[in-house]
Amino acid sequence: MARYRSVLDLIGNTPMVDASALSPNPDVSIWVKLEGRNPAGSVKDRVALSLVESAEADGTLVPGKPDQILIEPSSGNTGIALAMVCRLKGYHLKVVLPTNVSIERRQLLEVFGAEIIESPGSEGSNGAVRMARQLAAENPEWVFLYQYANPANPRAHYEHTGPEIWADCPEVTHFVAGLGTSGTLLGVGRFLKEKNPDIQVWAIEPPTGEMVDGLRNLDDGYIPPIFADLGGAEILDRKTVVRPRESIEWTRKMTDLGLFVGISSGAVMAGAIRCASQIPEGEKATIVTISSDDGWKYLSTGAWTDDLDTVVERATQVIYF
């Protein structure tokens, strides 16, 4: 067995598993990179470590100095990952969390000692971002790493996730991942396109804009600054919405392969299936997808066990991506 000095050394180098049995096209194979294998349970471990270490490198955070406070908006995974990293490094973390996230996400933040500040669920992630920005402005002594605007977020994927995929699966022709902050897509997408410009990058998103009621007008909209700064529109080849029903159906189908993954992973698999079915027969292709986390944090939603219509209705009320 490998031995490690710190849990932080367990971040990254995640395994990839063949999910081609789900492919609708016999010429297209599908591989899933399992980010739920990271120690705090999601792809965001990579981002949290990168955000904190780059802040330490530029002196924004000072290791060992007491009473350093961080604030970050999160619907769950980044908060949980940052809470774990901050616990190990001795920083105090405040997470601005929409009220409509699964109970397990909230509990995990508490496990690692993060302080939770609630933002209105009806405003979704937009509301959490707005509140965190306001609190950071009012408390300039707090450190605001702001994953949506921090290049250390996509850099984690450019330096690690992308190279891992290239090393494990150099025959990749399509990369399909979920769109949140856009960090994974931009970092991995840029790295892979530098290696092979023909690789297609597909972004999968939930119908978030339909669920957020708090917008007063369209200019209340939000585009992650890193997306604009890093030329996101040039890196993506396709952006497509996957709805809750399809997301949950594919989350369930993935258990046929022993894959117990989060609901956003089902959405991304649905997107990969759509991608595979559009590739002409006879054209060999290899799709690599990212499963951001495992299913544990979503058991309370009944996603695998309750009536599908009931779960779909519930999913429209909860941030699951």
Partner 1 sequence: MSVAVRLPTVLRAHAGGQAVVEINGSTIGEVLTTLVEQHPGLSGQVIGEDGTLNKFVNIYVNDDDVRYLQQLDTPVKDGDEISILPAVAGGSV
Q: Catalytic positions, please?
A: 44, 264
CA distances from 189 to 5, 158, 176, 207, 240 (A): 32, 8, 9, 22, 16
In angstroms, the CA 49 to CA 76 distance is 16
Q: Of 22-30, 81-89, 199-207, 305-313, which segment contacts partner 1 by CB under 8 A?
A: 199-207
What are φ and ψ of residue 17, in 5° steps? -130, 145
Q: According to the binding rule CB under 8 A, does residue 146 interact with partner 1?
A: no
**Is there binding between residue 243 and partner 1 (CB under 8 A)?**
yes
Give dist(CA 158, CA 102) in Å, integer.
Answer: 30
Amino acid symbol at 151: P
User: Of 154-162, 167-175, 281-289, 313-321, which segment contacts partner 1 by CB under 8 A?
Assistant: 313-321
* Among residues 14, 23, 50, 264, the one that binds partner 1 under rule CB under 8 A: 264
Q: Is 134 in the site for partner 1 (CB under 8 A)?
A: no
- Return the structure tokens found at 188: 């991995």
Q: Strand, coil or helix: what is 185?
A: helix
Three-state DSSP class for 213?
coil
Q: Is 314 in the site for partner 1 (CB under 8 A)?
A: no
CB of 274 to partner 1, least distance (A): 9
CB 204 within 8 A of CB 318: no
Residue 240 binds partner 1 (CB under 8 A): yes
| 121 makes contact with partner 1 (CB under 8 A) | no
Size of the residue set binding partner 1 (CB under 8 A): 54
| From 180, 244, 266, 295, residue interacting with partner 1 (rule: CB under 8 A) | 180
**For partner 1, which is the closer residue by CB, 165 or 275?**
275
Tokens representing 240 are: 């497509």
- Report d(CA 320, CA 205) in Å as an integer: 11
Q: Which residue in the set 239, 245, 252, 253 belongs to the binding site for partner 1 (CB under 8 A)?
A: 239
The CA distance from 136 to 72, in Å, is 9
Nearer to partner 1 among residue 29 and residue 147 (C-beta): 147
Q: State the Cα angle at 235 between 10 and 193, rounded to 5°.
A: 65
189 binds partner 1 (CB under 8 A): no
Contacts to partner 1 by CB under 8 A? 42-44, 73-79, 124-126, 128-129, 147-148, 178-182, 205-210, 212-213, 215-224, 233, 236-243, 264, 292, 319-321
